[in-house]
Amino acid sequence: MRLLEPAINVLKSTAEERRVPIPAVALNYSINKGVLPLVGVHDAEQAEQDMQALGWRLSGDEMKRIKRVSFWGQTSSFLQQD
């Protein structure tokens, strides 16, 4: 969790500024990077949060802020990273 805190904090502050849920920011970031995220939806609330990622784009500065706190893992046939 210690490694995730910086990323979570940036996602949280961006979500507060944008007035959207944190998952919407994370999904929007992925979409802006050209990824087509496949999300599992467990209930109506989660579906609503995920849908709030659509119809807007993170700014270049927001994308840079998130990228700065992201970290690299192993790339495998199951997990691709740029």
Domain boundaries, the chain: 5-69
The pTM for the full model equals 0.81
Cβ count within 10 A of residue 25: 24
Asked if 62 contacts 10 with a C-beta cutoff of 8 angstroms, the reply is no
Compute the average pLDDT of residues 72-79: 58
Residue-wise pLDDT tens digits, 13-66: 999 999 999 999 999 999 999 988 888 889 999 999 999 999 999 999 999 999
Over 70: is that where the pLDDT of 78 sits?
no
Structure tokens at 25: 């920011």
Residue 1 has a pLDDT of 74
